[in-house]
Amino acid sequence: MSDDVVGEFHLNGLEEPPEMEGLADEVIAAIKEIECHGFKFAHQKGGLLHFIKSNNREAFYSTTDLRDVLEVANSLRVGILEHEDLSATFDPSSDIFEFAITSYRRPASRYHWSPPKKECGHDFDGGEGGYSFHLSGENGEACVELSPGTPLAEFLHSIHMIPRMRRFRPHTLKVFGDSSEGKTVGFEEARDLVDRLLFELDAAHEVHITTVPRVRRLIRLPASRTASPPAVRFPKVRVPREVSALFSFAGEAIDNPPFMFLAYYQALEYYLPHAASRGGLKAIRRELRALGFDDKSDASVLRVLNCIERHKNANEEDQLKTLVSECVRGDVLREFIASAENLKHFSKGGAELSVPFINLSSTSETLAVQVARRVYALRNRIVHAKDNPRYAESKVLLPRSKEAGLLEKDIQLARLIAIETVVDNQG
């Protein structure tokens, strides 16, 4: 069977599979080109072509208008770069960075704008109705533009965009990399400019628009493993309202891993003072029961006072170590860490989260203490967004970062500790 060259695309063979029947040869060639980049053509409907791209965990759906498929295929053939964390692309042929955006209030394409006069040489007609703007860079900075997305952006990021209305293509933010001063603009510089713009739109005008993560990092909580329906009982566990509310919120924050982790940690925080008191009382009783204790001896009494002071002034990390040691069953903790699906994550060389790893064979620290240190370090990475040398080595863990997608096992660990703690603090 011969090969035909159609337009700029190479079409192998002339027979059309059933789902491509009725399409022009150049469209079929474009579809073949798109499929070479990992997208599987699914079907056509209402003038739209639908593709599927799968990874090991989930499938992503991309859509393009029949009228745009040639441009999409050409862009993929020429080659574009994608951002590591965000749904954003860089087209070297045009020197333009394009960021997918979303808004939970109303689409970005439905806001009216009153921008300053354009002072650069980029093509921009202002669009219809003032729904777009182009801001010229100052002091050699790149320009930034809000306008309808390119066909390629709509195709790559259609999973994050609202369905196209009859007249309006979803808007994207574009950063023009060329500069009057000849400065080189990279992805991070472009992202910084977009972040600054979105902050000002929100702070000054209450227009809440955000960039979109490249991968939606959903956290899957462990499901029941029993084949039969779970047996329910009248509730016996007494849970403070604050703890119940935090525990419930954690289960809802499946698309924000840092928030989910922090909710479980806050549930633990409720019990920290009580756990510290329990640890202090245990240490005092140990001193009082010691065979060498003498209430007439200053040294013996001072040892008791030292126990009181030590636990009274314990910092939050030490309180957490006491809580995990006192409230979490050691065999349950070890079984969780040592399981086949978890061991690599928590061990040295596991997930790159810049927090202490856990060594099940350690003789210098108990497993409970190691777990508490790791949980507390992660808490600090989420909470402390400070320009402080103390946190220079462990910068803030951002919601849309690649690291956020690595938190699943640590979230499950925090959840386990929270459950154990609630149960241990009954009556």
Tell me what pLDDT residue 301 has: 73
Nearest to 422 by CA among 247, 231, 232: 247
Tens of pLDDT along 309-335?
Answer: 665 666 889 889 989 998 999 999 999
The mean pLDDT of the chain is: 80
Tens of pLDDT along 386-398?
Answer: 555 555 556 788 8
- Please name the residues in contact with 335: beta carbons below 8 A apart, sequence gap of 6 or more: none
> DSSP of 140-169, one letter per residue?
TPPEEEEEEPPHHHHHHHTTTSPPP-SS-P
Tens of pLDDT along 116-160?
Answer: 888 888 888 766 678 899 998 877 678 999 998 888 888 887 644
Q: Tell me how far apart the alpha carbons of residues 371 and 145 are, in angstroms, rounded to a whole number.
A: 47
- Please name the residues in contact with 265: beta carbons below 8 A apart, sequence gap of 6 or more: 375, 379, 414
90 residue type, one letter: F
- Please name the residues in contact with 221: beta carbons below 8 A apart, sequence gap of 6 or more: 251, 254, 411, 412, 415
**To which residue do tokens 């006072």 refer?**
305
Band of the pLDDT at 375, cuts 50, 70, 90?
A: very high
Helix axes 272-289, 298-312, angle to 10 degrees: 170
Tell me what pLDDT residue 359 has: 95
**To which residue do tokens 């001896």 refer?**
297
Tens of pLDDT along 177-201?
Answer: 765 455 567 888 899 899 999 989 9
Band of the pLDDT at 370, cuts 50, 70, 90?
A: very high
Tell me what pLDDT residue 234 has: 73
